[in-house]
């Protein structure tokens, strides 16, 4: 059973039931990696029931800014979901979860490895036998085994451990954390892919499976091309700042009005760039004729280009370069990027009522996804979800009275 497609007014809204309509997901995740994964699924029609502990998802407090007590950090990754307050520390709470799983396709959780097993909810021992079609996706920092097995993982910690920080920044800045939590977000993306793979495989086998997703593994998987370079040449990659380690020119350049970022992917494109800039002789120079030579002679090439761009208006130059088929863009701030005309054209800022957030980047022709519900307040769907799953009013009230389910956060 899925929600009907609402006729809503706003931007970046879902105009179909979605490609994942009919998929039911029980979401026990908190913070970012897991919620990002389940938001992707919910954007495209999956019914996502977010079961929150009595204290709620802690990122509800990660502000300011706030909207009616909920922080932007929570608001940004929890649209389209239903929220149920549930205490899994109580045996009755675990029984509620098991009843919800009777109709579920997917369970996503990011408890410390061993927690579900301690509660008698382990996949191998219990869930796979009771719900053979269930896909259980666990998101953890490092997995349950190995030298770091069971250790807690945060985005920045894993950025440090997998080498990502060492390749970010400059030679003088030292290792630098990426400004966006790319490991958490990447883990959410990989987890959504893994779930959809398992759903597809289930159409043949009829069986679910356990998905062991870790921040560590996903962070390592993001280390291209630095890992590939090292595995081929044995040299330790170093931070290069804005320039690309394998391409030149591919960096920021200063104009009289702003910095721009320009990228050249092959020798033909470099010759085209030089013609556009009125300096064809540079493309014929043996120091710059091939990408390999340009990487070796990067500093000399950068001096020539900086001098050429010094009197240009970067905001005017970049559209001309793009029109000529030369990738370039002005370096803008977040507020400028969100307000840009192309952002609006692509519906990458979505709006529904008070809610504003980043839109879905997945554009589908027949079954477009998007926003269909505002991010839920804590526990706002508790009674409705339980009733949908066969709980009587008396049962729901008894669970409320026993502190098993709740509609307000426990402070």
Sign of CA dihedral 222, 227, 232, 237: positive
pLDDT at res. 69:
96
Could you give phi then psi for residue 211, rounded to 5 degrees? -110, 115
Whether 2 has a pLDDT exceeding 60, the answer reads no
Which percentage of the chain shows pLDDT scores above 70?
Answer: 98
Whether 409 has a pLDDT exceeding 70, the answer reads yes
- Whether 184 is catalytic is yes
Q: Are 348 and 359 in contact (CB under 8 A)?
A: yes
Whether 4 has a pLDDT exceeding 60, the answer reads no
CA distance 93 to 384: 17
CA distance 72 to 353: 15
Least confident of 60-74, 168-182, 351-365, 389-403: 168-182
pLDDT band at 6 (very low <50, low <70, confident <90, very high): low
pLDDT at res. 240:
85
Mean pLDDT confidence for 116-123: 96
pLDDT band at 9 (very low <50, low <70, confident <90, very high): confident
Task: With H, G, I as helix, E, B as strand and everything else as coil, classify residue 125.
Answer: helix
pLDDT band at 191 (very low <50, low <70, confident <90, very high): very high
Average pLDDT, the chain: 95
Domain extents in the chain: 10-223+346-406, 250-254+259-330
Query: What is the largest distance, in Å, between two alpha-carbon atoms of the chain?
Result: 84
CATH of domain 10-223+346-406: 3.40.50.10540
Task: With H, G, I as helix, E, B as strand and everything else as coil, classify residue 56.
Answer: coil
88, 91, 94, 100: CA torsion to nearest 10: -120
Mean pLDDT confidence for 137-165: 94
Which percentage of the chain shows pLDDT scores above 90?
Answer: 94
Mean pLDDT confidence for 168-188: 94
**Residue 280 has which token pair?**
């064809």
Catalytic residue among 43, 155, 184, 381: 184
Predicted confidence (pLDDT) per residue in 26-57, tens digit: 999 999 999 999 999 999 999 999 999 999 99
Mean pLDDT confidence for 291-317: 96
Which element (helix H / strand E) includes 10? strand 10-11
317, 320, 326, 332: CA torsion to nearest 10: 50
pLDDT band at 324 (very low <50, low <70, confident <90, very high): very high
pTM of the predicted model as reported, rounded to 2 decimal places: 0.92
Predicted confidence (pLDDT) per residue in 201-237, tens digit: 999 999 999 999 999 999 999 999 999 999 999 999 9
CATH 3.30.1540.10 is held by the domain 250-254+259-330: yes
**Alpha-carbon separation of residue 199 from 19, 29, 135, 185, 206 (angstroms):** 13, 19, 8, 21, 9
């Amino acid at each position: 059973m899925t929600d009907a497609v609402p006729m809503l007014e706003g931007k970046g809204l879902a105009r179909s039931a979605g490609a994942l309509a009919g998929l039911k997901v029980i979401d026990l995740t908190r913070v970012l990696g897991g919620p990002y994964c389940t938001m992707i699924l919910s954007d495209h029609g999956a019914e996502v029931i977010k079961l929150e502990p009595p204290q709620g998802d802690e990122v509800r407090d990660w502000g300011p800014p706030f909207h009616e007590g909920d922080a932007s950090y929570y608001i940004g990754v929890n649209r389209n979901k239903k929220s149920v307050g549930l205490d899994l520390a109580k045996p009755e709470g675990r029984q509620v979860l098991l009843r919800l799983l009777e109709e579920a396709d997917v369970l996503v959780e990011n408890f410390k490895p061993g927690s579900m097993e301690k509660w008698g909810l382990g996949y191998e021992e219990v869930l796979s036998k009771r719900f053979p079609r269930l896909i259980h996706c666990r998101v953890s920092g490092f997995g349950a085994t190995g030298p770091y097995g069971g250790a807690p993982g945060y985005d920045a910690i894993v950025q440090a451990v997998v080498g990502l920080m060492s390749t970010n920044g400059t030679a003088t800045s030292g290792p630098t954390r990426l400004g966006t939590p790319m490991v958490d977000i990447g883990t959410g993306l990989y987890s959504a892919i893994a779930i959809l793979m398992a759903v597809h495989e289930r159409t043949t086998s009829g069986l679910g499976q356990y998905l062991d997703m870790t921040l560590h593994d996903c962070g390592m998987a993001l280390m291209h091309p630095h890992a590939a370079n090292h595995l081929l040449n044995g040299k330790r990659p170093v931070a290069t700042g804005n320039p690309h380690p394998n391409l030149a020119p591919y960096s920021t350049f200063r104009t009289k009005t702003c910095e721009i970022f320009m990228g050249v992917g092959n020798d033909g494109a470099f010759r085209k760039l030089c013609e556009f800039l009125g300096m064809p002789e540079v493309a014929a120079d043996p120091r710059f004729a091939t990408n390999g030579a340009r990487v070796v002679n990067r500093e000399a090439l950068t001096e020539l280009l900086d001098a050429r761009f010094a009197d240009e208006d970067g905001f005017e130059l970049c559209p001309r370069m793009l029109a000529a088929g030369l990738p370039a863009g002005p370096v803008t701030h977040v507020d400028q990027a969100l307000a840009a005309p192309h952002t609006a054209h692509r519906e990458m800022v979505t709006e529904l009522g008070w809610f504003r957030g980043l839109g879905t980047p997945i554009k589908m022709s027949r079954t477009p996804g998007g926003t269909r519900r505002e991010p839920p307040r804590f526990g706002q769907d508790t009674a409705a979800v339980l009733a949908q799953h066969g709980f009587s009013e008396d049962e729901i009230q008894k669970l409320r009275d026993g502190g098993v389910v709740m509609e307000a956060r426990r402070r």
